[in-house]
Structure 1
């Protein structure tokens, strides 16, 4: 944007800002201070340029930008759960049962391993181009998955898509932080969670519909390419640019990133998820491979902590992890509360559908419909908190209520069996959905108010790690519980009936298994009872998440935040 002086002698930046072209109901700040951009340093000049962008942005343009932001959140949610309904058809086409968990785990691994790196990149680089690059990466991953000739290539594609998905999710949150006023930021941020939730609930439906049609499961991934192509003009031509260091050379900015910290951070998450996925399910717990994996995981965690604490090969300002946030009790409690809500949401959004698939014999579309009470109440809770926190701004109370409601719902879910009435399950879904929805996105807006303005990107990265990191780790933990306890329960229940270990593992993958789809009613009933009791134990992960939210709320300062 040209910030020079016009022929008439007037500075256009000052002139536009002074005119205050936006209306009072705009999402943008309306109290921008006029400044002279002609003699500003780069960072101040950028701030002035952003003020001009905000004041000149029409409502139509802002609406289209929101469409773009929320569509990418929807696609991210869609890809997070779409694999749940197509594991059987993929296994039938590509084989390789041992790699089947990577259909879901690979996406999570790509997401969580790059959270902190993306946080640093969004602080150092032009937001628009990084956001577009993330969309392209996501689409490339989807194309690899759709065209995969074997399970190994599909796993790689899922990791690539996960990397791109994290970039677009964090970019969406970042755009809202940049261009939306603090008072309206909670609602706009909540809408990201809303559309992500819609994507999650429609993932199994769309995946199941494609897998049962002539298009095959491959179009479950190709559909992302179609939607991306249709909306590409919005991202390319309408999305505004922003970058604190935009006028500086790009290579020094990339060179100064904490690359050692990024590698150790990615390795920490990757090793934990791999260890949790393979331990017991693929290799015995007492095998040398599993022991070595856990030892290397522990060593990597220690190295990462030491490297961040000492700022080895980096600076305190450039560390990949925002260590300064750990010195704030309020931010640490927001971190724990966000992590707990994410654990509740992710555990339930994956394993409630699995319960209905096994216990009630529902197909993909019916399973998605069963999840609607959870999704709708999660969305309602997210929008409710987004609307009311700026007015009823004693934020600790929200976390106490959120944790208590989530905890009650999770306790009830941990006591279910295959005979639990569907109406009861809906009631439990309402409780956990409302509970986690109240605080799943709230931490972003509250943390931004509590932190110094110059630390905005850093504190966003801190909450990002809590939300996405806890989601991935909780799912890895829940998956390990399901695979290990489920295998033991099934093996014990079916002892003496001639089923191999591989067939029992297949039963945990769903309806593709002969034990579930082609066995006698007696065998099927025994198997489903064992799986039902296992799922009840899996919801212990949700219980732990709810307890964490409640504890965080009780330990928070009972202070008000002024979002103006």
Structure 2
């Protein structure tokens, strides 16, 4: 029988994909609103306790996974020029990044539910396998279309790995220590973001070729998969047919179509398509329609919704989602286009362009580690939510004034 916590000990926190929830006891204030509580009020408790050696192996393998995904996001930016020179079809080049983002965003929402249905370990293994298969296809691609398909498959795995790393860390680490470990995850992302452009540029400039930007994922990914396969997470139990029935297929389809109809015109508008062309004018409204259908499905139809409505009882959840989307849009745009700026405007090599992007991500590494420690020590995060956008707006504004004159002591003539 499910035990209820003492209301005096109850801590109301943001819901996560990894915590078991129940409805609040009758004596909770404002009974008309559905609230959620964490079943254990002790910050030091761990959902899945692991022996010390297994814990170290688990953390190491999860860090490898998030490092590879983050490296894959940035390593392509400086190697993109080499891919275009080798495979041609420059007009399709933006899809090398967008194909990954579309499938990553579309499928990432599914992994939290899959982890609850099929168990953490095997869902993580599936995500890693998809990432490895996609990387292999990219490495052997002989056409730009094949490369884009490989990136889309890798995105199916990459989105899952991003989600599963955070879910599994939440399982094996207590609430009190979670900030520190998530800060370390952010540091791994930052280090990968620094190394990615440099390594991608070095591969592109050398005889090794840009293909090793993808081949490099395979051996390290296999190591992470091997380690995770040895860990003792709660096993998969129950009837497979019954579990498959729990999957919200219609919700998954509508959210994927909504994201696809949003990304395509944003990506192709102004280049392949005119902004006032029929595809752009049709797909934007279609995206809104599919999002509305998705919301209806989650609220009224799905037995096990991908996005439970209870997550949004706390108004902080939609606020933080909008916050993350806004900052992510700035960061990933900068990663992809600043390195291209140095290659096109200054005629830098890919390696030089990678080095030039180091200041962009070095600050992120320092502040990510520091903010994780700050939150764990003080249990305060609101000051960081104000400070981050301020610095990002200042940096983005200064970056917008970059031109071909006077940077790094160079004077460059007009761009032909």
Distance 1:255 1:525, change over 3 A: farther
Structure 2 alignment gaps of length 5 or more: 1-38, 40-44
- d(CA) in 2 for partners of 1:216, 1:404: 39
SS in 2 for 1:525: coil
**Alignment CA distance shift 1:306-1:276 (3 Å):** same
Q: Is the partner of 1:114 in helix, strand or coil?
A: helix
Unaligned 5+ residue runs, structure 1? 1-43, 45-49, 424-520, 529-564
Distance in 2 (alpha carbons) for counterparts of 1:57 and 1:289? 55
Report Cα offsets for 1:272-321 as digits up to 9, x if no partner. 11111222211222333333333433332332233334x22x13xx2222
User: Which position in structure 1 is the counterpart of 2:94?
Assistant: 101
Per-residue deviation, 1:420: 5.5
Q: Where does residue 51 of structure 2 map in the other structure?
A: 57
The answer on 1:283 being equivalent to 2:273 is: yes
- What is the CA–CA distance in structure 2 between the aligned matches of 1:212 and 1:421, rounded to whole Å? 23
Equivalent position to 1:389, from 375, 391, 400? 375
Secondary structure class of the residue paired with 2:413: helix
* TM-score normalised to structure 1 length: 0.61
Which residue, out of 147, 156, 159, partners 1:154? 147
Q: Select 1:294's aligned residue among 284, 293, 299.
A: 284
* Correspondence 1:268 to 2:258: yes
* Matches for 1:25-104 after TM superposition, within 5 Å: 54=49, 57-58=51-52, 60-104=53-97
Q: 2:243 — aligned with what?
A: 253
Query: Cα offset for 1:231?
Result: 4.3
Whole-Å separation in 2 of the counterparts to 1:231 and 1:326 = 34
For 2:46 and 2:224, locate their aligned partners in 1 and report how far apart those are by CA, in whole Å. 26
Residue 198 of structure 1: aligned partner: 191
- CA drift of 1:215 comes to 2.8
* Aligned position for 2:106: 113
Q: Cα 1:124–1:279, aligned 2, differ >3 Å: closer, same or farther? A: same
Q: Deviation at 1:351?
A: 3.1
1:360 aligns with 2:346: yes
C-alpha distance after superposition, 1:308-336 (max 9, x if no partner): 34x22x13xx2222322222123333333
- The TM-score with structure 2 as length reference comes to 0.82
Match of 1:527 in 2: 415
* SS state at 1:343 partner: helix
Q: Which has the larger radius of gyration?
A: 1
2:181 to 181, 188, 204: 188
TM-fit CA distance, 1:81: 1.8
Equivalents in 1 of 2:361, 2:408: separation in Å?
16
The alignment partner of 1:215 has SS state of: coil
Change (3 A) 1:71 1:107: same
Distance, in Å, in 2 between the alignment partners of 1:359 and 1:303 is 45
Task: Give secondary structure in 1 for the equivalent of 2:244.
Answer: helix
C-alpha contact 1:73 1:169 (8 A) present in aligned 2: yes
Residues 53 and 240, structure 1, Cα contact 8 Å, conserved in 2: no
Determine if contact 2:103/2:155 at 8 Å carries over to the other structure.
Answer: yes
Distance 1:346 1:91, change over 3 A: closer
SS of 2:271's equivalent in the other structure is coil
Does the aligned pair in 2 maintain the 1:308–1:319 contact within 8 Å?
Answer: yes
Cα pair 1:137 1:164 within 8 Å, conserved: yes
Aligned length: 372
Q: CA RMSD in A?
A: 2.5
What is residue 364 of structure 2 aligned with on the other side? 378
Cα distance change, pair 338–280 in 1 and its aligned pair in 2 (3 A): closer
Greater RCO (Cα-Cα under 8 Å, separation 6 or more): 2
SS of 1:76's equivalent?
helix
